[in-house]
Amino acid sequence: MSQRKSSTQPSERQNAMVQHKAEALHQYQDTEGHFSLVRLGLLLCSPSNVFFLPSYSRNFRLADLVTIMNGVCGSFSVFSSAHYLLTGDIDYLWSALALPLAGLMFDFFDGKVARWRKSSSMLGQELDSLADLISFGVAPSLLAFAVGLRTYLDTVVLTGFICCGLARLARFNATVALVPKDAGGKAKYFEGLPIPSSLALVSVLAYWTKNGWIEGQQGLPLGTVTLWGEAGGRGELHVVSVVGALWAAAMVSKTLRVPKP
């Protein structure tokens, strides 16, 4: 009798796992309440077409469109930084500095839209993380490179900053269900610095740009130190890069808990 009971327990656990996976997959396949530019375009052309659209063209919600705009802002910031490096036109640099802030606005409103529409999905969560990585990880790092953090060790620090942001977002997605919630179901704190906090560093870069403390003008504050080799070689590092390294470490910290507003 005991052997029969023990043999049924694993099968029950397996059935529960299969059901959980099916529910998770259903969040990607569910199209109820979803918004699609393809669907909207066909609806404007011919209202009857909307009933014949395949499900894969309707798997994005309205909140996801707002999230994508966050990624658009980050991408434009990256290209604006590249244009500045090619042309030296300071207007491109100011555009690159402003666009991550616009991305933060979209990052804020996508949650508002999701609550307004009473819809959320795993797809939206993953999309939000990818957009955040572009706007608050890649774009600020390229901005720092554009204003003057261009030595070999500077780029090592900036690469580490992006990777720490990536790790922080992945950990958030994997552990968000384990963080204590308040009565409204909202997480009580962030584990490690949230990646949008990198906008504080972007604001510092904007201040330096305003005062001309960038490469090609007065140069970055505090200058450089040479850890090994000759000045100008691979061992040269801007002192302010240390701030970026510490910020990256704070993002992946497990002990730092930042209360949510």
pLDDT digits (tens, 9 = 90+) for 97-124: 999 999 999 888 776 776 666 666 667 6
pTM for the whole structure: 0.75
pLDDT score of 36: 44
Whole-angstrom Cα distance, residue 160 to residue 141?
Answer: 10
Decide if 171 contacts 251 (C-beta within 8 A).
no
pLDDT digits (tens, 9 = 90+) for 140-178: 999 999 999 999 999 999 999 999 999 999 988 887 767
pLDDT digits (tens, 9 = 90+) for 14-55: 665 556 555 554 544 444 444 444 444 444 455 444 444 444
What burial class does residue 180 get, using C-beta atoms within 10 Å of its C-beta: 0-12 exposed, 13-18 middle, 19+ buried? exposed
Q: What is the mean pLDDT of the chain?
A: 80
Q: How confident is the model at residue 229 (pLDDT cuts 50, 70, 90)?
A: confident
The torsion angles phi and psi of 238, rounded to 5 degrees, stand at -75, 135
3-state DSSP assignment of residue 185? coil
